[in-house]
Amino acid sequence: MRLLTHLSVSIAMLIGLAFSVSAENITSSVKGIVIDSNSKQPIPYASVALEGSSMGAVTNFDGEFVIENVPIGHYHIIATCVGYKLDKKELELKGGKNSVLEFKIAEDFIGLDQVVVTADRNKIQRKDAPVVVNSISTKLLEQTSAITLADGLVFSPGLRVENDCGNCGFSQVRMNGLEGPYTQILINSRAIFSGLAGVYGLEHIPASMIQRVEVVRGGGSALFGGNAIAGTINIITKDPITNSFKAGVKYGAVGFGTKGSGSSARDITADFNASVVSEDHKSGIFIFGMNRQRDAWDANNDGYSELVEMENLSAGLRAYHRVSDLAKLTIEYHVVDEYRRGGDQLNVKAHEATVAEEVSHRINSGGLSWDQFFSQERISKLSIYASGQSIDRNSYYGAATTLDENGIELSTPLPDYGAYGQTDDLAISTGVQFFTKANNLLFAPADITLGVENVYNSLKDNKLGYYDFTSSEFVETTNIADQTSNTLGAFAQSKWDLGAVKFLLGVRMDSYKIENSADGSNYSNTVFSPRTNVLVNITEAAQFRMSYARGFRAPQIFDEDLHIEASTARRITHELADDLTEETSNSYTASWDYSKSFGKMQAYFLAEGFYTQLINPFFNEFSDVDEAGNMVMIRKNANGAVVKGMNFEFKLAPSYKLDFQMGMTIQSSKYDDAVDQGNDADKLSTTTDEILRTPHHYGYFAMNWKPLHEFTATLSGSYTGPMTLVHLGAGLDDGGNKIVGALDQYGNEIPESLVKTTDFMDLGVNISYHFDLGKDVKLQFDLGVKNIFNSFQDDFDYGSARDAGYVYGPLNPRTIYLGVKLGNIL
């Protein structure tokens, strides 16, 4: 036995020695340097990677890099850095021989060579993408002093962010004029942004966690499923690339120097992020956190908020581990703990106020993904992923009773104890995606993507029980919504490369089932969503794209349906019509873009036309007001609608010291037939064929000037043209009697009507200066003003009976801020 033991140990040692010798013979290292092609200076923190591989390295402060233990073979090595064009070299790596490479990369001021993932669910250079992909960079978010995602989304053509409620601060993004639920919001290409999260979710994502935001306009259901009729917004979070840190504090005075409540509201934000990467770059972790405290702000000094009080704590991480040069595991986790309160008397309990909207969220979300290549050639890749999000929400949406049955004002308002609610939401997305290349598929080389994914959502919304002191009775908890939805989707697409022409054809099948046990309603169907895209390289600088995509939205409860607006002294709840069916769309786009470098100057221009036909589009119709002053907003299908228009984008960078970009949208959004969008008895003053809150023209611009290495000045602005919206005024109860409606500043009742707003130009300036503290650590100071000329709505309603949804124009009044940052990557 002892002899056998010694023999087995000896054999194991020989095998290990043979393996080590073999490993030395079949692996090598890749060394080199990355320098700026103009200044000839080394570039720190540049990424150098084997194309299609998980292997890579990051340059040190002297621009040098080393990639160890690279198997022998034929490779394409890519060097990239934020703000620079990529450089690619071909390398035949032989065993035992180390290779030394020199990369010279030029600054990319306008993102011409950026790699994107939202175009076809795979990494691809922006100029090779079959659809137009716009990107909002970290640089732009920082230079415009964006605190959250909501602040930065305006800097892309076709996007507009709006605030829809003065009591709760509900905001949403509109793409090509279509409201929030028409846009699929993704986090790292995963659809875990549930309907409930969408109510306030744009302000839950701190800018400090974002690497870039990719925007694809036009139907995206063929790739990402339902709710992508207008397009997709993909939030790419920061990856750990090198050891880095950044921490900052910003103080803002909201409403500074305006006529509001007599004093500005404080908006204080502290955030940080840091990355740690192992020496062999096989593992890394990125962590971030943000704490925001904002006071409520009263625009017209009537005691009711126009901007709500907010307390937000967000934190999270993203980590990876390279199991081998062919396999990578990624994990991410985010948590949000937020409280917001609007209305009046914010220092008392919600039910003691005249009008109060109070909501607290605890959101946990995260995901796992496994990426596996099958050979050193990296032709085929398998991705397996699972993501989830859970939301625990406590809410109060209520208004005290101030008048008796005869319309006489009560000496003591009756509290609304029954306005407390509790909501639980769970969203889970799992899937498998396979990518491969074919040397010849039917008629040309092709990239093939196949996948299956399942999206599950469970939503329970309860109106909490309470003791009714007026009747001395206990009212039990009422279930408002108990909805489950499950969508099983399968997709396939192939992209052919014909040289000057690239052609993509894809289709997705989604089978959905939605059940709501609260009212017994259920909906189910199977929907096919095809897409086709053509990219023509007219010249080296000019490209032409055409696309068609079909999309859909299932008839489920969406984000704002769970926002019960305490508006005009009424509680407005939301229901789905019994005969509601899914909404579908046909989306057509055509674009021409031109990009050219003239020496050091870079220029880009895009003109894009879009035409989206909505079939059975959803619209909201108000019921009559009941005796208790409550209303129901019922979602119904209209006959049809058409959204059409043009997007323009222009970028110019004469040098690294100056760059400019702007975008403009001109559009029309109309139903085929006029529909009533209010609750007037005669249904005349609120009937229109226009899709509400869709200005016919809007846009943005941003200009950066860097006269010194340490100094940067940014001038930015967003323009919002006139739009139509409903102003809920005095209404009628079931008996035809007029009830109290919204009041103007003189106490006169405002009749319900459609209102045409004015236009707004929100200008902002940001000035930053940094000091080099040594060892690549910098200290930066920022000073700026948002909405310099206070281009802000000036006709808010007054008093408890106001229409809290009568909100339009820019998100914030004039705001002045001061910030300080410390870090090695600023």
Do 307 and 169 form a contact (C-beta atoms < 8 A)?
yes
Residue 10, pLDDT > 50, answer: no
Residue 54, pLDDT > 80, answer: no
Mean pLDDT along residues 517-534: 87
Mean pLDDT along residues 213-225: 87
735: confidence class by pLDDT, cuts 50, 70, 90: very low
Mean pLDDT along residues 707-727: 93
Query: Cβ neighbours of residue 7 under 8 Å, at least 6 residues apart?
Result: none
Residue 432, pLDDT > 90, answer: yes
Mean pLDDT along residues 515-529: 83
Which H helix or E strand runs over 7? helix 2-26
Structure token pair of residue 355: 């009008």
* pTM, full prediction: 0.87
Residue 411, pLDDT > 70, answer: yes
Query: Residue 481: its pLDDT value, please?
Result: 77
Least Cα distance to 126 among 658, 622, 117 occurs for 117
Query: Residue 410: its pLDDT value, please?
Result: 75
Structure token pair of residue 606: 């895009």
Distance, in Å, from the CA atom of 204 to the CA atom of 787, rounded to the nearest integer, reads 22
What is the number of alpha carbons within 13 Å of residue 475 lying toward its C-beta? Answer: 17
For residue 417, give the 3-state DSSP assignment.
Answer: helix
pLDDT digits (tens, 9 = 90+) for 588-642: 999 999 998 887 788 999 999 999 999 988 877 766 666 555 667 777 888 888 9
Given the structure tokens 């009263």, which residue do they identify? 298
Structure token pair of residue 233: 């917004």
Residue 652, pLDDT > 50, answer: yes
332: confidence class by pLDDT, cuts 50, 70, 90: very high
Residue 252, pLDDT > 70, answer: yes
The rounded Cα 283 to chain-centroid distance in angstroms is: 27
Do 814 and 788 form a contact (C-beta atoms < 8 A)?
yes
Query: Residue 789: its pLDDT value, please?
Result: 95
Residue 2, pLDDT > 60, answer: no
Which H helix or E strand runs over 6? helix 2-26
Q: In Å, how far are 26, 44, 77, 111 from 48, measured between CA atoms?
A: 21, 11, 7, 18
What b-and-e string marks burial along 349-371, b requiring 16 or more CB atoms within 10 Å of the CB? ebbebbbbbbbebebebbbebeb
Distance, in Å, from the CA atom of 801 to the CA atom of 785, rounded to the nearest integer, reads 33
Lowest mean pLDDT among 188-192, 337-341, 354-358, 493-497: 188-192
How many Cβ atoms are within 10 Å of 776's Cβ, its own excluded?
14
Mean pLDDT along residues 210-224: 88
Structure token pair of residue 262: 């007599």
Distance, in Å, from the CA atom of 521 to the CA atom of 513, rounded to the nearest integer, reads 11
How many Cβ atoms are within 10 Å of 691's Cβ, its own excluded?
25
Residue 13, pLDDT > 50, answer: no
Query: Residue 271: its pLDDT value, please?
Result: 95
Residue 739, pLDDT > 70, answer: no
Query: Residue 727: its pLDDT value, please?
Result: 82
For residue 555, give the 3-state DSSP assignment.
Answer: coil
Check residues 743 and 218 and name the one with the higher pLDDT: 218
Mean pLDDT across the chain, nearest whole number?
Answer: 84
Do 511 and 519 form a contact (C-beta atoms < 8 A)?
no
Structure token pair of residue 441: 């598929």
How many residues make up the chain in this entry?
Answer: 826
Residue 509, pLDDT > 80, answer: yes
Lowest mean pLDDT among 202-216, 439-453, 596-610, 794-808: 794-808
Given the structure tokens 């509680």, which residue do they identify? 571
225: confidence class by pLDDT, cuts 50, 70, 90: confident
Residue 286, pLDDT > 90, answer: yes
Query: Residue 598: its pLDDT value, please?
Result: 83
697: confidence class by pLDDT, cuts 50, 70, 90: very high
Residue 681, pLDDT > 70, answer: no
Residue 11, pLDDT > 60, answer: no
Residue 805, pLDDT > 70, answer: yes
The rounded Cα 775 to chain-centroid distance in angstroms is: 35
For residue 140, give the 3-state DSSP assignment.
Answer: helix
Query: Residue 569: its pLDDT value, please?
Result: 45
SS3 assignment for 578-626: CCCCCEEEEEEEEEEEEEEEECCEEEEEEEEEEEEEEECCEEEEECCEC
Query: Residue 687: its pLDDT value, please?
Result: 79
Query: Residue 728: its pLDDT value, please?
Result: 74
Instruction: Tell me the DSSP string of 696-744.
Output: SEEEEEEEEEEEETTEEEEEEEEEE---EEEE--B-BBTTS-B----B-
Domains within the chain, CATH numbers bracketed: 2-105 (2.60.40.1120), 115-823 (2.40.170.20)
Query: Residue 568: its pLDDT value, please?
Result: 42
Lowest mean pLDDT among 424-428, 560-564, 602-606: 560-564
Query: Residue 3: its pLDDT value, please?
Result: 38
How many Cβ atoms are within 10 Å of 588's Cβ, its own excluded?
16
Query: Cβ neighbours of residue 541 under 8 Å, at least 6 residues apart?
Result: 594, 595, 596
As a whole number of Å, the end-to-end CA separation of the chain is 65
Lowest mean pLDDT among 125-129, 339-343, 510-514, 717-721: 125-129
Residue 420, pLDDT > 60, answer: yes
Lowest mean pLDDT among 286-290, 468-472, 764-768: 468-472
Do 531 and 222 form a contact (C-beta atoms < 8 A)?
yes
Instruction: Tell me the DSSP string of 252-286.
Output: EEETTTSSSSSSPEEEEEEEEEEEEE-TTSSEEEE
Check residues 683 and 45 and name the one with the higher pLDDT: 45
Facing residues of 659 across strands?
Answer: 704
Check residues 91 and 269 and name the one with the higher pLDDT: 269
Query: Residue 750: its pLDDT value, please?
Result: 59
Query: Residue 269: its pLDDT value, please?
Result: 97
